[in-house]
Amino acid sequence: MLNTLSGRFLILTIGFVMLAEVLIFVPSVARFRQDYLLSRLERAQIASLALLADDMIAPELEAELLQNAEVYNVVLVRDQMRQLALASPIPEPISETYDLRDPGVVELIVGALDALVSPSSRVIRVIGQPVREGGELIEITMPAAPLRTAIIDYGLRILLLSAVISAMTAMLLFLAVRRLMVKPIRGVVDAMQSYAAAPEDARRIIVPSAGVRELRTAEEALQSLQQQLTSALRQKERLAQLGSAVAKISHDLRNVLTTAQLFADRIETSHDPAVARMAPKLLNSISRAISICEGTLTFGKAEEPPPQLGRVMLADLVEDVLDGERLAAGEADISFGEDVPAAMTLRADPEQLYRVLGNLVRNARQALLAKGRGGEIVVSANETAEDWVIRVSDTGPGLPARAREHLFQPFHSASKSGTGLGLTIAHDLLRGHGGTIELVDTGRDGTTFELRLPKGVVSLG
């Protein structure tokens, strides 16, 4: 109950209503105390009228008048003369004097709180204005105990009434919120859960029905999102089926091409000059076709496993990549260089980072070979306060505009011999590290890619 939206709203409503009642309670008690004291002044004035009517009254009658007025003494100021109208023994000295002729709000509140916390055995003096022009001033002394008892009784009744009002108000608001907010929200949640169970089923897409504008907007946004997701899932399913078919075809085609390559190897030994000239081209064509099939099969497999992060000596890893590419370059006029600090250590999956750098350097080598006049490939690195930065640069012909538009999309290669998967794989592997790959520059003077691996660790707290 307490973990639900309506339950918490109920508790908050009760709390806020009670707080409002407390803010009302203090001024209300102060007002009650003022009325109580004014009534005692009025009673004392009425009692003193008996003395004004007859200068001599019996002590028993005077005591009865004071008892009815609940005071000890009554003093009237009439015609600028101070007169002790009624008097009786005061059990204790007067501890406090309150002037009610023109009291301020703060003074009344402080007096009420003082009456609650002070001892009930006190004797207090109250000064006021006589009613109906009965004189210039009236002053009484009275016990504080009846005042304190009356204030406590009044306060308890106010608190009880406040509790009842709070409970009724909270219950009404609770029912209203459940009807107007919680029920529509629960309907949205139920629709989301139903859709999550079978997102391909268009019947489970929510139909907006809320009357509250904000909830209606949320339902419409959810409906649009579900429609887009359902459409995307259907498209993904069709693409998956197409990819499965392509993978099967590529698998069988690779086997056929491998057999053809074996026969081509035999043809290469022929002494026929025409066959000798055509055999290398045939072998290169078959090799490229096999490479494309293998790349398609690799890309069609399951997603890459998450990187196993560890400390990697970047200089050693770059040296391994460049040594392999030097062998692949053979006698071509291509030089490989590195500018990596010897002690630079970064956090990465060594195998995946090797594949990323290998793909980039391989692409650069293929671009230089396609250029036909050699060139240079350089891997450099540095670090900032936030990232490790690696750059792979070459002096190749640069990337054409079409390749730049589809830079990290699969099967969009800048060279005729490539599969168009190298940059896609590199992008996905770096994303698993929380890093990025960016084309910094490309043109007649060459191409530069920049890799950034973050130093920071994502906090799950």
Domain extents in the chain = 5-167, 213-299, 310-454
Q: Where are the alpha helices (DSSP H) in 300-378?
A: 314-329, 350-371
Average pLDDT value for the chain: 79
Confidence band for 417, pLDDT divided at 50, 70 and 90: very low
Q: Which residue has the higher pLDDT, 146 or 15?
A: 146
Q: What is the pLDDT of residue 157?
A: 87
pLDDT at position 319 is 92
List pLDDT tens digits, range 3-45. 666 677 777 777 777 777 777 778 888 888 888 888 888 888 8
The predicted structure's pLDDT at residue 5 = 67
Output 437 or 21, whichever has higher pLDDT: 437
**CATH architecture type of domain 310-454:** 2-Layer Sandwich (3.30)
Residue 232 has pLDDT above 70, yes or no: yes
More confident: 171 or 436: 436
Degrees (nearest 5) of the Cα angle 424, 328, 264?
Answer: 95
Count CB neighbours of 85 within 10 A.
24
Do residues 357 and 390 make contact, with C-beta atoms less than 8 angstroms apart? yes
Q: Cα 297 vs. chain centroid, distance in angstroms?
A: 41
Q: Is residue 333 helix, strand or coil?
A: coil
In the chain, % of residues over pLDDT 90: 14
Q: pLDDT of 310-367, one tens digit each?
A: 999 999 999 988 988 888 788 888 999 999 999 999 999 998 898 899 889 988 888 8
pLDDT: is 312 or 250 the higher one? Answer: 312
pLDDT tens for each residue of 168-188? 877 887 788 777 777 778 888
Cα separation, 340 vs 342, in Å, equals 6
Q: Which pLDDT does position 453 carry in this prediction? A: 94
Closest CA to 450 of 459, 147, 441, 400: 441
pLDDT of residue 265: 66
Residue 163 class from Cβ within 10 Å (0-12 exposed, 13-18 middle, 19+ buried)?
A: middle
Query: In this model, does residue 429 exceed pLDDT 50?
Result: yes
Task: Determine the average pLDDT of the residues in 354-381.
Answer: 88
CA-CA distances (angstroms) from residue 390 to 315, 377, 378?
11, 13, 11
DSSP 3-state of 386: coil
Using the predicted structure, report yes or no on whether residue 161 has a pLDDT greater than 50: yes
